[in-house]
Structure 1
Amino acid sequence: MWFPFVVNTPAESPLSPTLPTDLAAAHAMILAERQARVEAQAEALAAKAAASSTEVTIAHLKLMIEKLKRELYSQRSERTARFIDQMELQLAELEEAATEDEIAAEATARQASLPAPALRRRPVRKPFPEHLPRERVVIAVPTSCPCCGSMKLSKLGEDVTETLEVVPRSWKVIQTVREKFTCRACEAITQPPAPFHVTPRGFAGPNLLATILYEKFGQHQPLNRQSERYAREGIDLSVSTLADQVGAATVALAPLHELIARHVMTAERLHADDTTVPILAKGKTDTGRIWTYVRDDRPFGGADPPAALYFASRDRRQEHPDAHLAAWRGILQADAYGGYNGLYDPARPGGPVTSALCWSHARRGFFELADIAASARRGPGAAPVSPIALEAVKRIDALFSIEREINSLSADERRQVRQERSRPLVDDLRSWLGEQRVKLSRSATVAKPIDYMLRRWDSFASFVDDGRACLSNNAAERALRGFALGRKAWLFAGSSRGAERAAAMATLIQTAKMNDVDPQAWVADVLARIAGLPQGRLDELLPWNWRPLPTTAIAA
């Protein structure tokens, strides 16, 4: 059985357009379709640019809200800071994409002879600093009127457009001329002494030395990479040559390192911590350690300047902190590392060190079990959030909230507030942790951070009775952050001497940063002046006493 069907011809189909029969009309139709397609594309790109602009605005507003919340509620935890950094990175990515979409939309609109799409509002650019030199570039004006050709032109004024530009690093050779004179009476020859160089028969100026040192120890750029970059700039400085300069400069700066170490070891309270540093050995690398001891009296209103002292070792044995702090007594802010136990021994010569453990370490153990956001990211198979850990985090956060209010007050004022407000919370937390621990089995995950605190409770609670103590050891952790980042760049220290040299230079650089001093400018000025100062005036070159020489003195 079959069914008849009717086939429509193109002229009879309702979907087929009527095509022109002559060539001119066909060309006109093609151009019209192209114009329509370009206009549609321009409208689509304009819509995409508008959507990108909206995303940028939303991200910017979210970032402002988070920053305001942080300022309002004083949420200065590391997690909050990382979250804001992540939001700023995301905002930068969105702004880059929005700019690309706007440029594409503008170009397509011009091609389609359409009005330019509305651009997103941008912040008003601040004027460039006045201290920057200005280079005036004048565009040549016509010699005659472009309208009538008259030569009678007079200046009405000018419009100045400022563009910020950077000049690549330039090198120069300073020729120090020492003229010789002879006496016609006695025929004696006299000549001024040669200028001081940090290295024997040295050729590198203080600014070049400071650049090499800061890039190696402050920016974590190994000497081989520096040598390659200098070669691309036309300067041949081999790795061995740079290493010679680094060794000599380290020796020249050793007196300042000793002064900083002496200043740190006179503190009433120190922050202590360590981090791993691979040290090259025969056919392998040893897991060495960088130790830091930070003096920072600003939290309890101390007037003494902050400073950081570093040491290096090939292992983490207890003998190292015992040797570092052999002659020191005071409050030691640290984690529960057993290598510090020798310092707390009552039989220690000179008396024991007072332990003040870090509440941030204790809180971290609970927070990992109470992180709701991380549990949501892990999916349905993730372990449930522990209500005990969540409650412990809330109670510890209440103590940190009080600490933020009394930061920078005097030690007596801090102690008084802690006795009135923090002690009841600390006592209640201990009782609550003890009650919860009785209900838990030995294998419960939340039992580990509870035991960590209860077994060391006296050291955790010591801050209540001493206003000089802090609630956390974040100052030492911040001081070690550079080494944690640098490990990815230089991979390992070449020897124990190399690790010790890195520790010495880190002492100088980190101390300068803590005192709001540009480390590279400071090191350059110190290298230029240290040979001309007597031993009794070296204190003038310490970061907290340092004042750069005026331009006239440098020229002289």
Structure 2
Amino acid sequence: KKLFGKSSEKRDDFEGQLYLFNEAESLMTEPDLEEQEFTTVEKHTRKKKPKMTDKFANLPVQKVLLDVPEDERICDICGTPLERIGEEFVRREIELIKPSLKIIEYYSVSYGCPKCKEDAEVPHIVKGRDDQKHMLHGMASAGTVAWVMYQKYVNCLPLYRQEKDFKMYGAEICRGTIANWIINNAEDFFRPMHEYFQRKLVSGKYIMADETPVQVLKEPGRRAETKSYMWVFRSGEYDPEQIVLFHYSPTRAGQTAKEFLEGFHGYLMTDGYGGYNKLKDCTRTSCWAHVRRYLIDAIPKGKEYDHTQPAVQGLAYVDKLFDMERKIHEKKSLDFDAIKEYRLKKEKPVLEGFWKWLDCQTAIKNSRLYKALVYIQNRRQFLETYLEDGGCSFNNNTSERSCKAFVTGRKNWLFSDSTKGADASALTYSMVETAKACGVDVYYYLKYLLIKCPSSQMSDEELEKLSPWNPECKEALDELFRKHQDAIFDAM
């Protein structure tokens, strides 16, 4: 099934599925929804499509006049010269401006006192200063470094292909140089932000975690093919200040998570990996999406809608819970207390029914159904924890989506050459995914950090102003965007 079956987990409801649940529970009233604008379509509703002008609202517009040749501006009737009376819109096209490189040379302007230059022993001279610290790591500007980072960590473009692109732009820049730009700048300017984000994350109430393999070729004392891991720790999906942190480690040992999250006393959402059991000071919550996958895998082929099958019955309960959680996501105005009340009233009865179903099940040892039942039973306590607090997530899909960005990139660049490269990737992915989660432009955020040059000497108040959720930071990113658009327009 994993090789040739469909990968989507979506399923259609089958007749009689709802009768597995308490009828009174299904008739309960729900909190009012925040209505979106909808267009009515036969048999279903569909969100209104954005207008063409809305899709391209952020692009500069160049107006081209299709003028009449001068020798044709004569009246065919009387021969009088024609006068311009107006213009009308004909068409619109999108023009891609190919990236280009240029060299910017900075000269320090000197000023000296004309009166003292002959009389004084040491003439008084002042010179213009260059405060851009990132220039210590080569010729690349903040925008250039941000661009190569964006290409690798957002567009998943390996450095050897970026090397070819630079050659096409007219510059011979080898991939080793590009790698040094990324590694040195990430270590110097992203590390302080990463450490600040880590302090904020650990001091919060909700964290979601996941991990995925990565190959690092030159790890001291280890073979090149040895598997290492990239860990992901992120804030709860409902937190207003979204933080996504990547952390490279040579192993998957639970000690890594324990050390990274030292001092955390809130709710930790994870999958079923036992390494997280080392964290004793927090409250564990387990992922219902993993429960669902185990049950789907336990359904015999061709029996997907046969509700006499135990796995199908269990899946019906879980799908009902997912439907209810989907409604919570639609009610964007609900606070955590309202979410908790909703879950206790509507989801807890379904959950109790699911546990009764689970207690009645038996299966052949080592069968897929047996593995599913054991998996659920071993995590029963953690699967109920989300009912305690409305800020808890129901599943770990949010952190898995954050992890997916790294996995997609890994398929293209395959491995990290060194531990420094793996660390730099973790730092840069952290800035990239945090910017994405906060809804700001990734490229401009990377460029902004490289211009501002965060350092370990900065206070938390100063680093807070450089965080992507901060209004001051967002205003600065908008200004960078406007300057870029103006430059494009001037070049037209």
TM-score (structure 1 length as normaliser): 0.68
Distance 1:341 1:524 in 2: 39
Distance 1:374 1:279 in 2: 43
The match for 1:484 among 404, 407, 410 is 407
1:400 corresponds to 2:322: yes
Distance 2:50 2:264 in 1: 54
1:465 corresponds to 2:391: no
The code of the aligned residue for 2:206 comes to R
Q: Which of 1 and 2 has greater Rg?
A: 1
Indicate conservation of the 8 Å contact 2:236/2:392, yes or no.
no
Which residue does the alignment assign to 2:45? none
Which residue does the alignment assign to 1:164? 94
Change (3 A) 1:553 1:337: closer
Distance 2:132 2:303 in 1: 59
Distance 2:157 2:170 in 1: 19
Distance 2:248 2:310 in 1: 40
Which residue does the alignment assign to 2:284? 355
Distance 2:168 2:290 in 1: 47
Which residue does the alignment assign to 1:141? 69
The match for 2:180 among 234, 238, 244 is 244
Q: 1:531, CA displacement in angstroms? A: 6.5
Which residue does the alignment assign to 1:369? 298
Task: Specify the SS of the correspondent of 1:221.
Answer: coil
Distance 1:339 1:201 in 2: 39
Q: 1:305, CA displacement in angstroms? A: 0.6
Distance 2:76 2:130 in 1: 69
1:415 corresponds to 2:340: yes
Change (3 A) 1:541 1:188: same
Counterparts of residues 308-327 of structure 1 (less than 5 Å): 308-327=244-263
Which residue does the alignment assign to 1:178? 108
Task: Specify the SS of the correspondent of 1:542.
Answer: coil
The code of the aligned residue for 2:320 comes to A
Indicate conservation of the 8 Å contact 2:286/2:383, yes or no.
yes
Change (3 A) 1:224 1:392: same
Structure possessing the higher relative contact order (Cα contacts under 8 Å, 6 or more residues apart): 2
Change (3 A) 1:428 1:80: closer
Distance 1:130 1:415 in 2: 40
TM-score (structure 2 length as normaliser): 0.77
Indicate conservation of the 8 Å contact 1:182/1:190, yes or no.
yes
Distance 2:166 2:441 in 1: 23
Which residue does the alignment assign to 2:428? 505
Counterparts of residues 537-552 of structure 1 (less than 5 Å): 537-545=462-470, 546-549=473-476, 550=479
Indicate conservation of the 8 Å contact 1:196/1:531, yes or no.
no
Q: Deviations over 1:274-323 (max 9, x none)?
A: 1111221476322111111110251xxx5x41111111112212221222
Which residue does the alignment assign to 2:353? 428
**Aligned-pair identity (%):** 23
Distance 1:286 1:157 in 2: 71
1:279 corresponds to 2:279: no
Counterparts of residues 432-451 of structure 1 (less than 5 Å): 432-437=357-362, 440-451=363-374
Q: Deviations over 1:190-244 (max 9, x none)?
A: 2121241403174222111110111122222222211111101112212232222
Distance 2:206 2:137 in 1: 44
The match for 1:288 among 204, 228, 253 is 228
The code of the aligned residue for 2:224 comes to K
Which residue does the alignment assign to 1:28? none
Q: 1:541, CA displacement in angstroms? A: 1.0
Which residue does the alignment assign to 2:418? 495
Q: Deviations over 1:42-64 (max 9, x none)?
A: xxxxxxxxxxxxxxxxxxxxxxx
Q: Deviations over 1:232-268 (max 9, x none)?
A: 1112212232222212311122221221111111121
Bigger CA drift: 419-428 or 514-523? 419-428
Q: 1:139, CA displacement in angstroms? A: 4.4
1:223 corresponds to 2:159: yes
Which residue does the alignment assign to 2:192? 255
Change (3 A) 1:283 1:275: closer
Distance 1:400 1:283 in 2: 43
Give the 4+ runs in structure 1 shifted more than 6 A. Answer: 371-376, 551-555
User: Number of aligned pairs?
Assistant: 418
Q: 1:326, CA displacement in angstroms? A: 2.5
Distance 1:245 1:443 in 2: 51
Unaligned residue ranges in structure 1 (runs of 5+): 1-76, 82-122, 345-351, 377-383
Indicate conservation of the 8 Å contact 2:406/2:429, yes or no.
no
RMSD: 3.2
Indicate conservation of the 8 Å contact 2:211/2:231, yes or no.
yes
Bigger CA drift: 304-313 or 136-145? 136-145
Q: 1:149, CA displacement in angstroms? A: 9.5
Q: Deviations over 1:155-186 (max 9, x none)?
A: 34444433321221132333333221222323
Distance 1:481 1:259 in 2: 24
Distance 1:148 1:261 in 2: 77
Unaligned residue ranges in structure 2 (runs of 5+): 1-6, 12-48, 487-492
Distance 1:326 1:264 in 2: 11
Task: Specify the SS of the correspondent of 2:135.
Answer: coil
The code of the aligned residue for 1:222 comes to P
Change (3 A) 1:124 1:521: closer
